[in-house]
Amino acid sequence: MTEILITDVISKMKVYLNLEQFSNGEFAEECAKTAINVCSVENLNIITFYACYLYMRPYDESSNAYLEIYKNSVEEIKNGTIDIDKGFKELTGDCYND
């Protein structure tokens, strides 16, 4: 079992979020920590997906909606019914379309 490091998650977040979006390093670190703590899987892609979700869509702490979305995403990724890259594009507002 490999340990997922915060630095690994943040490095991968920088790949998927453009520099304009990735302006708050402290908040990104908190998102990475939360994702590592909450995720029950040792999969850097899934953890990064969740960290980016938290970063892009700050959630209402009184709501568990974000956790449900995460759980559904993990199931879809495990079942192969979601494309991680496509998910990132949706998450970041499809910023890769030229």
Q: What is the pLDDT of residue 79?
A: 66
Q: What is the residue-level pLDDT of the chain in tens, covering all 98 positions?
A: 467 899 999 998 888 776 666 778 888 898 898 888 877 678 888 888 888 877 876 554 445 555 566 566 666 656 655 555 555 555 554 443 33
Distance between CA 32 and CA 26 in Å, rounded? 10
Alpha-carbon distance values, 34 to 31, 79, 86, 93 (Å):
5, 24, 23, 22
CA 88, chain centre distance (Å)? 8
Instruction: Please report, for the chain, the start and end positions of each structural domain, with discontinuous segments joined by +.
Output: 6-91
Provide the whole-model pTM: 0.56
Residue 33's contacts (CB-CB under 8 Å, 6 or more residues apart) are 6
Tokens of 20: 């304009």
Tokens 């890769």, residue located:
96
Cβ-contact 13, 53 below 8 angstroms: no
